[in-house]
Amino acid sequence: MSDSFPAFEAVALSVQDGIARLTLNRPESLNALNDAMFREIPVAVGCAADAGARALLITGAGRGFCSGADLVGRPLPADATPAQRERANRAGFERVITLVRAINEAPMPVVCAINGVAAGGGIGIALAGDVVLMASDARFVLTFVPRLGLVPDVGATWLMARMAGRARTMAASLLGDPVSAQDAERWGLVWRVFDTAQLEAEAMAVCRRLADGPQQAVVGTRRLVDAATEMPLSSHIVLERDVQCPLIGAPDWVEGVKAFREKRPPKFGSAS
C-alpha cells in the first residue's frame, strides 16, 4: 500500500494487514533528525491513519534508532542578536511540537522498537510509544546538557521523569551517561528487552495483537494513563467516565460480550 504515499526522503512507510511500519531512514547518520525527518514523521503518521492502519511500528534503519539532531548536516547560525536568534529558534521549534503531538495523538497504538542507540531527541521519539521494546545492545544517551549546552527536548524530560522519576532523569540529563537497555527496563523506560535478533519479530507480534484489538479502547486507555499523574483521582474518575461511557454498548463491546459468552476469542472490527 506504499504506492499512494508521498515520496519520503528521510523516512520509509509501509502498511500491510492493518500494521503500519514507519522506519527512520537515514542509516548513514544513525537516523539523525534533519529538517526532512521532522517534516515527514507527522505526515507519515497521517498517511498510516488514512490507509486504515490499526497499529503503528516505529523503528530505525541500520544499526541505530535515532542519534538525535543532525549536527553535521545542519549549518551553524548566521550572526544575529539574541532576540533575532530566539525568534528564529521559536519558529523552528514548531516542528518539534508538531512531531511530538503527531505521535502522542496518533489514532492507533504506537509500538517503538529501539534497535540501536537512541540519543538526544531520538529518546523523545523512542519513549513516545504506547509499548516500547528495546534491543539488548541498544542504549539511551541524553547529550543535550553536557555536550551541547541545551536542555533535552522532543518531550524527553516529560516522558522520562514520569517513567523513571526525578533522580534518574536529572542524573541522566545532566551527566549524559549512557543508559543500557537493561537499566532502561529496570527503570521502567521500556516494556521489555529482547535479543537484537528477536526484536523485529517480537515488535511485529505486539503490533498484530494491538491491530486486532478494540481501537477506541486502546486509544482511550492511552488518554487515561497519560492523564493519571496530572490530576487527582476525583478528576481522573470523571475523565474515566467520559472515555468509558461511549464504549459501553458500542460494536466492539457487543462483540467482546458475545465472545465471552460463546467462549471464543473476540473479533473486533473498526472502531465506531
Q: What is the mean pLDDT of residues 133-147?
A: 96
Q: What is the CATH number of domain 2-211?
A: 3.90.226.10
Q: How confident is the model at residue 157 (pLDDT cuts 50, 70, 90)?
A: very high
Q: What is the pLDDT of residues 64-95, one digit of tens each?
A: 999 999 988 777 777 889 898 899 889 999 99
Segment 95-105, tens digit of pLDDT = 999 999 999 99
Q: Is the pTM of this model over 0.85?
A: yes
- Spell 57-80 as b/e; 16+ CB within 10 A means b: bbbbbbebbbbbbbeeeeeeeeee
The pLDDT value recorded for residue 77 is 73
DSSP 170: H
272: pLDDT strictly greater than 50: no
**Mean pLDDT calculated for residue range 52-62:** 98
At residue 181, the pLDDT reads 98
- DSSP annotation of 75 reads P
Q: What is the pLDDT of residue 269?
A: 82
